[in-house]
Amino acid sequence: MKEKVSAIIDILKNRYADAPCALHYSKDYELMIAVRLSAQCTDARVNLVTPGLFAAYPTLEAMANAEISDVEHHVHSCGFYKHKARDIVLACQMLLSDYNGKVPGTMSELLRLPGVGRKTANLLLGDLYGTPGSVVCDTHCIRICGRLGLSQGKDPEKVETQLRAILPPEESSDFCHRIVLFGRDCCTARNPKCAECPLTMFCREFSA
């Protein structure tokens, strides 16, 4: 398994030299907001919505003091807008009241924030703090790692635990970003482009 994981990591690195987060942000709390908006919504849609939202509320204080109904208007097209708007405002208020205006750097602290689950927390830890072992289990990660035999099942927390046990901690965050890129342009859910896939030798579902 160690050799297999190393080979997969190297292939993905070769295909995607850079491994940026797909969500656009310039401040730590903006990434927290963008990830919350991305739940059951595409990153592309979120990146269309956040410029207007961040322009309307250019500081953490402004976002924390915003009327939830006004935030709903800005994020409406992201879906589940009432829940997302409420979580965004309340989370920003907690950043000010409990964390000195900074997104905290531990899993336990992050999970206290409204709307922040393990997927969001791991992404924030990996991208903001470079925390080793940060594994972001989104739908791409679960699907592709299952196909490659790196994990079993579809429960995000169980898959996270399985991947954490086999991925080099220093590679885990970038690995997850690369898996997202790979899931978008090659190993798609419905019509994977197996003919151009560089990982077919590891794939459980590939048939020549």
**193: annotated active-site residue:** no
Residue owning tokens 């979580």: 87
Structure tokens that stand for 197 in this block = 């896939």
Main-chain phi, psi angles of 141, to 5 degrees: -60, -50
Structure tokens that stand for 206 in this block = 């590939």
Catalytic residue among 28, 87, 119, 174: 119
Structure tokens that stand for 172 in this block = 């885990």
One-character DSSP codes across 33-84: HHHHHTTTS-HHHHHHHHHHHHHHS-SHHHHHTS-HHHHHHHHGGGSSHHHH
**What's the rounded Cα separation, in Å, for the pair 8 and 129?**
25
Catalytic residue among 4, 13, 43, 138: 138
First to last CA, the chain: 23
**138: annotated active-site residue:** yes
Among candidate residues 117, 147, 118, 114, the one with its CA nearest the CA of residue 135: 118
Structure tokens that stand for 101 in this block = 């205006």
What positions carry a catalytic annotation? Answer: 119, 138
